Amino acid sequence: MQRQRRIATEEAFATPEQLEALADRIAAGDDSADAPFWGMMAGSANPFAQRVKRQLLDLDDERLAIMDAEGVDMHVLALTSPGVQMFAPDRAAAMARDSNDRLAELVARHPRRFAGLATIAPQDPEAAALEVERAMGKLGLNGVMINSHTNDEYLDEEKYLPIFEAAAASGAPIYLHPRAPSRGMAGPYLKYGLETAMWGYGAETGLHAVRLIMSGVFDRFPGLRLVLGHMGEGLPFWQWRLDYMFASGSNRPKLELLPGEYMRRNMAITTSGMNWDKALAFCIEAVGIDNIMWAIDYPYQTTPEAVEFMDRAPLSDEDRTKIYAGNAERIFNIAPLADELEMERA
């Protein structure tokens, strides 16, 4: 098989200030559904937590060594969930700006190895919109990541409209990334530790994406692109039923398209943390090969298994190239490798 360029599109990093602030919030008695995971992460004796924290903070050394060992050309980086969305607005906005500055500096140091998704603080929608513009303009980043709900609110509320206006105007894809369920839905998930990646992350983020569809935001901004990880957080599987129930319901908003049509026109999905041939085959059929990007979910999941999965997936070379790199180049405005080499020669 011909060597493919490999761009991993949901790869996390952290700053020391973010991890310290999260630990302080948990120690102060945070009662959100994010608390059990980040409480575990703050514990010094947990081997998983220690490895993940080390790899979240490392950007130039171990990360690049693992990428080189497994033939991964680029990470599309974003500040790890829940980003800055658990903090007061002023502090969150300052943390977001600092994180984005550091990310832009890293990309400038390693332009062929890293691209970046900006962090914003939806707690202050106007300031968040300005940060979208700064990140996509001055900093030259590749999109925005928002970690689902903020203060138990969802982005379909009218107050968050400036964020979408800025994203649409600047051509910024919005990666809607999971966090633990909001307080209104979290209770039943907590008994068996289901609030995180086992089930709650996908349920929470899938709900959020459906709310955005139903809000009419994609009629308002038809060029807006939303990215969902983990093979679409369950939405591709529910596409037929979403369309059926929407068409048969009398108490739902009037939209220009069916929900599934927005999924194929305005959304893209990544394979992060879902290294399963059957899921990939179904998603290709449901949302189309041009709307799927490869991802690892580093460091929460391991690089070798994600590479092996995509290398062995029953795909044509053309389709594998699209998922491994071509779709990411188009959706996140990443220069194709041939263009980068040409620029270097010039």
pLDDT digits (tens, 9 = 90+) for 300-337: 999 999 999 999 999 999 999 999 999 999 999 999 98
Torsion angles phi and psi, residue 106, rounded to 5: -65, -45
pLDDT digits (tens, 9 = 90+) for 261-301: 999 999 999 999 999 999 999 999 999 999 999 999 999 99
- Please compute the mean of the pLDDT values over residues 131-149 and round it to a whole number: 98
CB atoms within 10 A of CB 135: 28
The domains located in the chain, with CATH, are 7-16+54-345 (3.20.20.140)
Strands 118-119 and 174-176: unpaired
Confidence label for 345 from pLDDT (cuts 50, 70 and 90): very low
Q: Quick check: 191 pLDDT over 80?
A: yes
**Six token digits for residue 55:** 């790899």
The DSSP 8-state label assigned to residue 278 in this structure reads: H
Told to judge if 297 belongs to the known catalytic residues of this protein, a careful annotator would answer yes
Confidence label for 339 from pLDDT (cuts 50, 70 and 90): low
Residue with the larger pLDDT of the pair 249 and 215: 215
- Please compute the mean of the pLDDT values over residues 23-49 and round it to a whole number: 92
From the candidates 297, 311, 319, 339, give the one annotated as an active-site residue: 297
**Six token digits for residue 316:** 């044509």
Q: Quick check: 344 pLDDT over 70?
A: no
- Please compute the mean of the pLDDT values over residues 128-145 and round it to a whole number: 98
Mean pLDDT, the chain, integer: 95
Helix axes 62-70, 47-57, angle to 10 degrees: 90
Torsion angles phi and psi, residue 90, rounded to 5: -65, -45
Confidence label for 342 from pLDDT (cuts 50, 70 and 90): low
Threshold 0.85, pTM exceeds: yes
pLDDT digits (tens, 9 = 90+) for 82-132: 999 999 999 999 999 999 999 999 999 999 999 999 999 999 999 999 999
- Please compute the mean of the pLDDT values over residues 169-188 and round it to a whole number: 97
- Provide the strand spans (E) within 55-184: 74-79, 114-116, 118-119, 144-146, 174-176
pLDDT of res. 346: 43
Q: What is the DSSP string of 189-228?
A: HHTTTTTTTTTHHHHHHHHHHHHHHHHTHHHHSTT--EEE
